[in-house]
Structure 1
Amino acid sequence: MKRSIPILSAAVLTLALAGCGDKTKADAETAANQAEQALDSAGAMASNVALDAQQALSPTPAGQEFIDRMAKSDAYEIAAAKLAVTNASSQSVKDFAAEMIKAHTDSTARIKAAAATANPALTPNAELTADQQDDLADLGKKKGAEFDKDYIDDQVDAHEDAVVLLRDYSAKGDTPALRTVAGELLPTVQGHLDHARKLHQ
Structure 2
Amino acid sequence: MNKSRMMILGLALCMSMPAAMAQSIPEKAGINSLMGVAPRTADFIKIATVSDMFEIQSSELALQNHDPALADFATRMIEDHKKSSAALRDVVRSGNVQIAQPTGLDESHQDMLDKLKGLHGRDFALQYRSDQIEAHQDAISLFRRYGESGENASLKTWASNTLPTLENHLRAAQALPQ
**TM-score interval for Structure 1 and Structure 2 normalised by the shorter chain:** 0.7 to 0.9
Shift of 1:117: 2.0
**1:31-180 correspondence runs (5 A):** 55-89=33-67, 91-180=68-157
TM-score by length of 2: 0.77
**1:162-201 correspondence runs (5 A):** 162-200=139-177
Once residues 69 and 134 of structure 2 are traced to their aligned partners in structure 1, the CA distance between those partners, rounded to angstroms, is 19
Contact 1:61 1:173 in 2 (8 A): yes
Contact 2:147 2:159 in 1 (8 A): yes
Q: 1:156 is aligned with what amino acid? A: I
Which deviations, in whole Å up to 9, do the C-alpha atoms of 1:32-77 show, x marking residues without a partner? Answer: xxxxxxxxxxxxxxxxxxxxxx845243111111111100000011
Q: Count matched residues.
A: 148
Contact 1:152 1:196 in 2 (8 A): yes
Q: 1:152 is aligned with what amino acid? A: R
Shift of 1:118: 2.4
Contact 2:38 2:148 in 1 (8 A): no
Once residues 134 and 181 of structure 1 are traced to their aligned partners in structure 2, the CA distance between those partners, rounded to angstroms, is 29
More helix by share: 1
Shift of 1:125: 1.6
Shift of 1:200: 5.0
Which deviations, in whole Å up to 9, do the C-alpha atoms of 1:112-150 show, x marking residues without a partner? Answer: 111112234433224211111111111011111111111
Instruction: Give % identity.
Output: 33
**5+ residue gaps, structure 2:** 1-31
SS at structure 2 position matched to 1:127: coil
Q: 1:65 is aligned with what amino acid? A: D
Contact 2:52 2:85 in 1 (8 A): yes
Find the structure with the greater CA-based Rg. Answer: 1
Match of residue 26 from structure 2: none
SS at structure 2 position matched to 1:199: coil
Q: 2:49 is aligned with what amino acid? A: A
Q: 1:108 is aligned with what amino acid? A: S
SS at structure 1 position matched to 2:38: coil
TM-score by length of 1: 0.69
